[in-house]
Homo-oligomer: A and B are copies of this chain.
Amino acid sequence: MKKLTAIIAALTIGAAAWGQQALGPGTGLVSPEINPDHSVTFRLFAPKAVKVQVTGDFMQGNAEMTEGKDGVWTFTTKPLEGELYSYSFIVDGMRTMDPSNIYRNRDVATWTNIFTLSAEQGDKGWYYEVHDVPHGTVSHVWYDSPTLEANRRLTVYTPAGYEGGKAKYPVLYLLHGSGGDEDAWSDLGRTVQIMDNLIAEGKAKPMIVVMPNGVWFNKAAPGAAVNMFQPTFANSRSQSTIEVENSFPDIMNFIEKNYRVAKGYSNTAVAGLSMGGRQSCMLSLHYPGKFGYVGLFSGVAVHEGNEAAFDAVFAAKPRLYWIGCGKDDGIMVNSRKLKAFCDERGYPATLYESEGGHIWRNWRVYLTIFAQQLFR
């Protein structure tokens, strides 16, 4: 821990340097600090504050932080398991970021600080961290969609070895949920780290992962789109799936033309979360011979009225029809219904029931499980 004088010097330099544009040497505090027992200590310099709390997805409710004589408020959690965690501070009732931690994620319109914790190799947190393994490439690319009459943005992961190589790779199309965009899976979903680590361990086949923008009337994520729009569930949700179904070949044609793709049923997967799960389900129904692997993460289509389409899906003998859902998720009712329908007809669908609700923590786990079963 730095002394108070160092902290004040740092803050003063930061303020003085503002005329030279926001350059500061940081706060001089370490926060969060992961302790040897995997508890985590948070620190915030707030000498004028009356009440400071921390709120995060590693506990229920808010925790009171304690002020030291140096104006630094602290709180230490109990030991935590490996995971990616989000948190914020609440200073006198106002939510604020931890200025000592540059790592942040945006979910719809809300930013929070994040950190990863890995208790041991192979736990959840370990897969979300960057390790000294070969790394894939992440590209933000624009493609033309004649169907939607739009130039649209998508994110492409190509595995380590793609550059300079000649091999063709199978493709996973991975769709985000309401409020999300083509950056959601790479940012919130840790897709890049999960795929790098699984492939390096030999637990997943090297594959291309294509992450389109699933809101058919949006061309790109906030920041990449014309106008600096503030995302909401309303402006980043497609109630209808038919536009996504009809325009999906535009995406596949672009990818198959511009990347070294191993084509065909047994080399093509589609998966998505929430809205993207429903879209993936509908895509499987719309193109029954197209996707040999289907992943529905906390999102499904109802089977009523779609019985014949489901018959066609399973007549094409998918290698994997995988449903994942949390036990506290409202989507579980329909997930179980779909599983029961498949069981009745003797269709080999898998239902993976996890703890928890409709949250990214589950979707990262579902991707980790699902990716290992692809293209075998």
The residues of A with any CB-CB pair to B shorter than 8 Å are 14, 18-26, 30, 46-49, 55, 57, 60, 86, 88, 91-97, 99-104, 106-112, 115-116, 129-132, 134-143, 151, 153, 160, 163-164, 179, 220, 222-228, 230-233, 254, 257-258, 357-361
Docked Cα-Cα span, A18 to B88, in Å, equals 11
A209 → chain B closest CB, angstroms: 14
Known contacts being A140-B138, A163-B141, is A25 close to B233, with CB within 8 Å? yes
Contact (Cβ within 8 A) A137 B134: no
A149 → chain B closest CB, angstroms: 13
Contact (Cβ within 8 A) B20 A358: yes
Chain B residue nearest in CB terms to A225 = B130
Contact (Cβ within 8 A) B224 A110: no
With a CB–CB cut-off of 8 A, which chain B residues contact A57?
Answer: 18, 21-22
A194 → chain B closest CB, angstroms: 14
With a CB–CB cut-off of 8 A, which chain B residues contact A47?
Answer: 93
Contact (Cβ within 8 A) A135 B107: no
Contact (Cβ within 8 A) B359 A20: yes
Q: Which of B46, B48, B140, B361 contacts A137 (CB 8 A)?
A: B140
Q: Which of B88, B103, B111, B131 contacts A102 (CB 8 A)?
A: B111
Docked Cα-Cα span, A48 to B227, in Å, equals 33
Q: Which one of A22, A30, A115 has the greatest number of beta carbons of chain B within 10 Å?
A: A22
With a CB–CB cut-off of 8 A, which chain B residues contact A21?
Answer: 57, 86, 107, 359-361
Chain B residue nearest in CB terms to A137 = B141
Contact (Cβ within 8 A) A97 B109: no
With a CB–CB cut-off of 8 A, which chain B residues contact A106?
Answer: 102
With a CB–CB cut-off of 8 A, which chain B residues contact A131?
Answer: 226
21 CB contacts below 8 A, A to B, read A20-B359, A22-B57, A22-B112, A23-B108, A23-B110, A24-B110, A25-B108, A25-B109, A30-B230, A48-B93, A48-B94, A91-B94, A91-B96, A100-B230, A101-B230, A115-B228, A130-B223, A130-B224, A135-B151, A138-B140, A142-B160
